[in-house]
Amino acid sequence: MDCIFCKIISRQIPASIIYEDDKVLAFNDISPKAPVHVLVIPKTHVDTVDELADMSVVADLFLVMKKIAAEQGIDKSGYRIVVNQGHDAGQAVPHLHFHLLGGRSLLGLSIF
């Protein structure tokens, strides 16, 4: 499949991977908007929230985001989770991904 994030999953494209299990992959955003800017994705390709049928994927992603936030030391200071859905939100990569952002004040941060 010609999907950039699927290629990161299959190691065809390099990325700074910080977490992996059988269902979820997390890696640093190539163009970070905050000191912590991690993309958390399901390893099974889903284009968008709209295409998501198996909602257990959402629980898997949130559990991993909580774990990463604690590991990166932003669980107490706070963080933001963002999903851009479709054209009007500026979704650039059509493989469902959650942005996990933190490490500084995010007030006024526009995504994207």
Active site residues: 97
d(CA 26, CA 41): 6
Q: How far is the CB of 46 from ligand 5GP (least distance, A)?
A: 13
Interface with Zn ion includes 45 (CB under 5 A)? yes
Bridge partners (DSSP) of residue 82 are: 99
Q: How far is the CB of 85 from ligand 5GP (least distance, A)?
A: 9
CA distances from 64 to 61, 69, 85 (A): 5, 9, 20
Nearer to ligand 5GP, 63 or 93 (CB): 93
Interface with Zn ion includes 37 (CB under 5 A)? no
Q: Which residues contact 34 (CB under 8 A, 6 or more apart)?
A: 101, 102, 103, 104, 106, 109
Nearer to Zn ion, 6 or 58 (CB): 6
Residue 45 binding result from Zn ion, ligand 5GP, none, given CB thresholds of 5 to 8 Å by partner type: Zn ion
Q: Are 100 and 37 in contact (CB under 8 A)?
A: yes
Binding site for Zn ion (CB under 5 A): 3, 5-6, 45, 95
